[in-house]
Chain A
Amino acid sequence: MKRFFLALLAIINGFRRRRSEEPPGPSGPIVSPGPPAPRGAELAVAALLLVAALLGVGFMFVYATESVGNRTQWEGLTLGGAFLFLAIALITAGKHLVPEEEVEEDYHDPEHPSEEEAIDQIVRESGSRITRKKLLITAGGAAGAAVGLAAITPALTLGPLLDTDELRDTPWRRGLRLIGDDGKPMFADQVEEETFYTAFPEHAKRDLLGAPVVVVRLPPAQLKLPPERAQWAPMGIVAFSKVCTHAGCAIALYRKPTFAPTQPRPALVCPCHYSTFDPARGGEVIFGPAGRPLPQLPLMVGSDGVLRAGGNFSGQVGPSYSTVRSRGPT
């Protein structure tokens, strides 16, 4: 009984001590009171809040009513408007209804030199039993490196990471017919000058970088192809990869002179960074950031009069990467 009593006393005592350790509650006001808010401001805030509520309801109404024309605009107006009036209400309240006061605080110096010292000491002293530090560090480093590498090895599954041969694939082979945008074979005598055609290899997927080519026809006298390509342009028709050798966009513009003596010669232009290629000179870069000529596709005309590939491209299709040859075949 006596023990029980003592314990109870101790508990009560503990409570009292704990309570007395708490910082004293505030005695005066913490927020400086200031004069009463102007009446008009209160009414204005209330009105603004009501308008916001109305616009909110308006949004729900527009959302639910199918016959509203320009629905997106009305939805934007009502929802945006609701936010807007709420915002004005709050800012007005902040300006006129809330006590105006300033508070001060200290900037703390973020550094604690003695704590830094202590941490350093803890770490150092924790290793005090170790005698072969170097050995352990080396072994730990080896383990860390190997296990770390093992953990990221599955990233190889992402793609054919170590074998870049795939980048050189194109669907073009000697003898493949050129198929136009409309899905029909391209007849050589239907290709006109000053026009720009897109063609694909027959029976091949179209969404490969190596598939699309641009086909243009130039007066044979204008052509200045390298000598080994002399046979690549039957009737003055030349074909180039449609994929820019700068960064892989599709060549979509054909600049053609409307008045020969004063205007620059015909050129294939990429709309992304305006690399400009000369179709008459085997796709050489005339202007812009591309570092390599457009790869040319040798052409021939079959006995049916349809354009056919005379082989694969003269170089790597698409943007350059390390090991791509800047001239000559891939």
Chain B
Amino acid sequence: MIRRAVAYLDRGTGASPLLRKTLRYAFPDHWSFLLGEVALYAFIVLVGTGIYLTLFFEPSLAKTTYNGVYAPLRGMEMSQAYKSVVDISYERNAGLLFRQTHHWAADVFVAAVILHLMRVFFTGAFRRPRTLIWTIGLLMLFTSLLEGYLGYSMVDDLLSGMGLAIGYGVALSMPIIGGNLALAIWGGQFPGVHAFESRMYIAHVLIFPALIATLIVLHLALVMRHHHTQFRMSPRATERRVIGLPAFPAQTPRSLGLMLAVAAVLFLLGGLVQINPIWQWGPYQVAQGTNGAQPDWYLGWLIGALRLVPGFDLTIGDYTLVGNPFWGGALFPLVVLLVLLAVPAAERRLTRDGSTHNLADRPRDAPGRTAFGMAFLTWVSLIFVAGSADRMYVFLGLSYEGQIWFYRVASLVLPFVAYFVTRRVCLALQEAERIDAERELAEAEAAAARLPAS
């Protein structure tokens, strides 16, 4: 049976040598190497649930009156797009399950990608020969952020509209071309022409997913080409030789198991934990706003940045050159992206080490890198947390303005503190290890010296 299937395949493709090699591909075994896999599986769930949703979603801003089963919205005028999502939630069997699973999957996908990115950073796995993999991963992450933003923006509920208004503000604020850019994207003054909804739709269901999928394929192909990095877990694991579980049989059930576990968690969340209850906020109207509806977590850093920037537009005389949202909404993420893209080359420069590395560092092995990473993480995290200052005000009664001032100062100071503390901790850990090793050596020598006497 197996033989016949393989023969069929081989006759058509000549791929059996490749297949055989792939079956015995070595996977170094460490839990942290699974984060990227989690992201991949969340992406698969996203595509699956997303296809289901496109079958019922209507990307149209044409107005209609709601007459469905959800009583509080009855008689309200709304777009076809919003109505179709309310209908998916209330009237399509399993619709709400798939919608919420899709939404949860997006949140988990971005979280897994970011954790994976941190793992790769702190182990130095971005070094040669894997620099291009790092670059592709970063592009994928930033594309995914846009993709997620478009996803909740298409729904045309109040949260969508507020998010789009801010997106419009950021587009307008671009130096010189802002006005033209915003008009081109929206087709006119905000909230834009009807075709704007179709533009978001085609971008969300085709262009960006195709782009992300392509990047994933490239990313994985290059990982296979160079093999995974590995920790120095056994003396046989060296810069030249990789040790691990074979893809088949050992790794296959584990990976499939992980995939199903990710799907399980996402579907359980989708079924049991409410997310983005669009019927609560109602359809978007330009004249409405609320501070109750919160966007997805992965946009929090941008909201924080928009809130922290002091109030000024860059002007020449009386004329605006750069609007305020540019700093927090465009320049800040751009800087983060550029810094991360520059990491491999910068490290090569600073350490004067351009050679290839297949052994992963432990964070303490490279105190400078780890300290920089912690400083950068502290910076972005503080700005992220600043995005929840209003929640803190509502829940704890902390003065909003006081918090903003605190974050403004902290985001400038604490990264340096993080840098020095992390460096010290890394050096101390190294030192402790050295002392341990010396003591062990001394004890072994002492034992060896006693031996002949006994």
Could you list which residues of chain A lie within 8 angstroms of chain B, going by C-beta atoms? 30-31, 63, 71-77, 79-84, 86-91, 93-94, 97-110, 155, 158-162, 164, 166-167, 169, 198, 200, 206-212, 242-243, 246-253, 270-275, 285, 287-292, 318-328
- How many angstroms between the C-alpha atoms of A34 and B86 in the bound complex? 56
> Is there an interface contact between A212 and B287, defined as CB atoms closer than 8 Å?
yes
Which residues on A sit within 8 Å (CB–CB) of B321?
A: 322
> Is there an interface contact between B289 and A167, defined as CB atoms closer than 8 Å?
no
Which residues on B sit within 8 Å (CB–CB) of A75?
A: 94, 97, 271
> Is there an interface contact between A248 and B291, defined as CB atoms closer than 8 Å?
no
> Is there an interface contact between B184 and A320, defined as CB atoms closer than 8 Å?
no
> Does B307 make an interface contact (CB < 8 A)?
yes
Which residues on B sit within 8 Å (CB–CB) of A249?
A: 162, 165-166, 289
Which residues on B sit within 8 Å (CB–CB) of A327?
A: 318
| CB of A186 to closest CB in B, whole Å | 14
**Chain B positions 126 through 163: 1 when the CB is less than 8 Å from some CB of chain A, otherwise 0:** 00010000000000000000000000000000000010
| CB of A273 to closest CB in B, whole Å | 4
Number of A-B contacts (CB under 8 A): 315
- How many angstroms between the C-alpha atoms of A178 and B313 in the bound complex? 31
Could you list which residues of chain B lie within 8 angstroms of chain A, going by C-beta atoms? 24-26, 93-94, 96-97, 100-101, 129, 162, 165-166, 168-170, 172-180, 182-191, 193, 225-227, 236, 239-246, 249-254, 256-261, 263-272, 285-291, 303, 306-313, 315, 318-325, 328-329, 356, 358, 390, 400-401, 404
| CB of B399 to closest CB in A, whole Å | 11
- How many angstroms between the C-alpha atoms of A167 and B182 in the bound complex? 10
- Residue of B at shortest CB range from A320? B323
- How many angstroms between the C-alpha atoms of A169 and B190 in the bound complex? 11
Say yes or no: A289-B328 contact (C-beta < 8 A), given A164-B179, A253-B291. Answer: yes
- How many angstroms between the C-alpha atoms of A209 and B161 in the bound complex? 12
- How many angstroms between the C-alpha atoms of A271 and B290 in the bound complex? 6
- Residue of A at shortest CB range from B230? A107
Say yes or no: A105-B272 contact (C-beta < 8 A), given A94-B253, A159-B184, A250-B289. Answer: no
Can you give 12 contacting A-B residue pairs, CB < 8 Å? A76-B269, A79-B271, A98-B253, A103-B26, A109-B129, A158-B185, A164-B183, A211-B287, A250-B288, A270-B289, A274-B404, A322-B177
- Residue of B at shortest CB range from A181? B287
> Is there an interface contact between B324 and A159, defined as CB atoms closer than 8 Å?
no
Which residues on A sit within 8 Å (CB–CB) of B178?
A: 321-322
Of the residues B162, B252, B271, contact of A72 by C-beta under 8 Å = B271
Which residues on B sit within 8 Å (CB–CB) of A318?
A: 169, 172, 190
Say yes or no: A320-B173 contact (C-beta < 8 A), given A104-B242, A107-B239, A160-B183. Answer: yes
Which residues on A sit within 8 Å (CB–CB) of B176?
A: 322
Say yes or no: A84-B260 contact (C-beta < 8 A), given A93-B253, A104-B241, A248-B190. Answer: yes
